[in-house]
Amino acid sequence: MEYFLQQAINGLTLGAIYGLVAIGYTMVYGIIGMINFAHGEIYMIGAFIAVIGFTILSMLGISSVPFAILIVLIVAILFTSVYGWAVERIAYRPLRGSFRLAPLISAIGMSIFLQNYVQVLQGARVKPIQPIVTGGLTLMSSSHFTVSLSYIQILIILTTVVLMVGFSLLITRTALGRAQRACEQDLTMASLVGINVDRTISLTFVIGAGLAAVAGVMVTLYYGVIDFYIGFQAGIKAFAAAVLGGIGSLPGAMLGGLLIGLVEAFWSAYFTIEYKDLATFSILILVLIFRPTGLLGRPEVEKV
């Protein structure tokens, strides 16, 4: 029981990170109907900015942890926003309206470029940082097992909840969110009511990048080590999360992220860590067989 609870906590934490990245996939898919294959790299860049940022801040002698995290988050979001914006401008916009495979290939190219770019700048070695958020709460303790919830896990889960609530409000309540939903449904009509479609699409990439940056910072704090390859690994998982939840659906991305995090945690705990990806993708395939549009995806039946 204690062991189970501990895995649930670990899975939720991991799932929160996948969920944040998955939102970027699902939003971009929603608005332009294409997968942003460079999105995982944006998350990786967020993590690298975190490593560099925390290192610089500690050299400057900044000792307040909340302040350091805040500064790093802001810097990471700013930088990755620019990368997200650039990905759209370079890999997607020039190819909008051409055959569907073209932007996909250019995005994969962009992804390889970003990976190599970080590798050249930062080296291929694993980057560690000093633990920044330490300690935690002991939830339960029996003679042979202790269930703990570390402060960093609390931070990750809280940040994710706050971002997801804020983000849902943005989509459902604001003019920008309405414009995004309109663009998702009919780009031409959206422009006919006076929406700046290009800007709305850019902002969608930028917002997705910002959320991925937060996930990158969090994962750096959580694991303490990163390398230039994490973008691909987390990207694939988050993409699977978005598909599992129903690509295009925001609650679906969050749910998919959580489920994949939990599956990974439990599989690694009760079976073997080697095959955790196999487990994740088997579940994805099973769900898609019975619900091809994912758990919360909508079947496309609408009166035109």
Partner 1 sequence: MLNLQGVHTFYGPIEALRGVTLDVAKGEIVTLIGANGAGKSTLLMTICGRPRAAEGSIRFDGEDITREETFSIIRRGIAQAPEGRRIFARLTVFENLQIGATVADPGHFASDIEKVFTLFPILRKRRDQRGGTLSGGEQQMLSIGRALMGRPRLLLLDEPSLGLAPMIVKQIFAAIAEINRAQGLTVLLVEQNAYHALRLAHRGYVMQTGRIVLSGSGAELLANPEVRAAYLEGGVHA
Minimum distance from CB of 95 to partner 1 (Å)? 18
State which residue, 27 or 226, has the beta carbon closest to partner 1: 27
Site for partner 1 (CB under 8 A): how many residues? Answer: 20
Work out how close the CB of 195 gets to partner 1 at its nearest, in angstroms, rounded to a whole number. 6
Which CB, 30 or 210, lies closer to partner 1? 30
Strands 225-226 and 136-141: unpaired
Instruction: Count other Cβ atoms within 10 Å, centred on residue 40.
Output: 28
Count CA within 13 A, CB hemisphere, residue 14. Answer: 20
- Residue in the structure block whose two tokens are 């290009």: 198
Site for partner 1 contains 93 (CB under 8 A): no
Query: Is 175 a residue that touches partner 1 (CB under 8 A)?
Result: yes
Least Å distance between CB 179 and partner 1? Answer: 7
Whose tokens are 């500064």? That residue is: 71
- Choose between 150 and 191: whose C-beta lies nearer to partner 1: 191
- Chain positions 178 to 217 lying near partner 1, rule: CB under 8 A, are 178-179, 181-182, 185-186, 188-197
Least distance (Å) between residue 89 CB and partner 1? 16
Residue closer to partner 1 by CB (options 134, 185) is: 185
By CB under 8 A, residue 97 contacts partner 1: no
- By the rule CB under 8 A, 99 interacts with partner 1: no
Q: Characterize the bridge pairing of strands 136-141 and 127-128.
A: unpaired
The nearest distance, CB 176 to partner 1, in angstroms, is 11
Is position 299 an interface residue for partner 1 (rule: CB under 8 A)? no
User: Which positions lie near partner 1, rule CB under 8 A?
Assistant: 175, 178-179, 181-182, 185-186, 188-197, 302-304
